[in-house]
Amino acid sequence: MNADAVTAAAVLAGLPLGEDRAAAVADLLGAWVPAANALSARMQAEEVRDLAPATVFGPVVP
C-alpha cells in the first residue's frame, strides 16, 4: 500500500484527501491489510469453520 494508491482510491470515491493524509492512510492500511488477510485465512481453516460471529447482522425490518 502506498500514498499514490490511497490517493487514486480517494479520487475514485470522490473523497478529498491531502498528500499528508494519504501517506498516513497508506501507513495505516499497510499495517491493517496484512493482518486482515491473515485473519481471513485463519478463519477459513477447517478447525474453525464451524465458529460463528458473536454478533450477526440481519435484514432491517421496517
Check residue 52 and give its pLDDT: 74
Check residue 46 and give its pLDDT: 87
CA distance 13 to 7: 10
pTM of the predicted model as reported, rounded to 2 decimal places = 0.62
Check residue 61 and give its pLDDT: 82
Contacts of 51 (CB under 8 A, 6+ apart): 43
Check residue 5 and give its pLDDT: 94
- What confidence tens digit (pLDDT) does each residue in 7-62 have? 999 999 999 998 889 999 999 999 999 999 998 888 888 888 788 777 777 888 87
Check residue 11 and give its pLDDT: 95
CA distance 56 to 40: 17
CB neighbourhood size of 36 (10 A): 11
Contacts of 34 (CB under 8 A, 6+ apart): none
